[in-house]
Amino acid sequence: MARTSWLFCVSIVVAALLASNASGQSAPPAAASLENVTSCVLEGTDVFIGAGKGADARRYKYQWDASIDALCNAKGFAIASPATARSSNPSPKASPAAPLAATAQAGSGAAFPLSSVAATSQELSAFLAGKSFQWSTAEGTRVKSKFGADGGLAASAPGYYDTGKWRVEDGKLCGSMRKAGDFCNEARFDAGTLYLRRVNGEIVRYEPE
CATH code at position 124: 2.40.128.640
**pTM reported for the whole predicted model:** 0.54
Q: Is residue 140 part of a domain?
A: yes
Q: Is residue 150 part of a domain?
A: yes
Q: Is residue 28 part of a domain?
A: no
Question: Residue 184 sits in which domain range?
Answer: 106-208
Q: Is residue 11 part of a domain?
A: no
How many structural domains does the chain have?
1
pLDDT digits (tens, 9 = 90+) for 25-56: 468 888 878 888 888 888 778 888 888 888 78
Q: Is residue 130 part of a domain?
A: yes
Q: Is residue 185 part of a domain?
A: yes
- The pLDDT of 53-79, averaged and rounded, is 79
Q: Read out DSSP for 140-188?
A: --EEEEEE-TTSEEEEEETTEEEEEEEEEETTEEEEEETTTEEEEEEEE
Quote the percentage of the chain above a pLDDT of 70.
72
- The pLDDT of 83-107, averaged and rounded, is 35
- Higher pLDDT, residue 165 or 198: 165
Q: Is residue 174 part of a domain?
A: yes
Report the mean per-residue pLDDT for the chain.
77
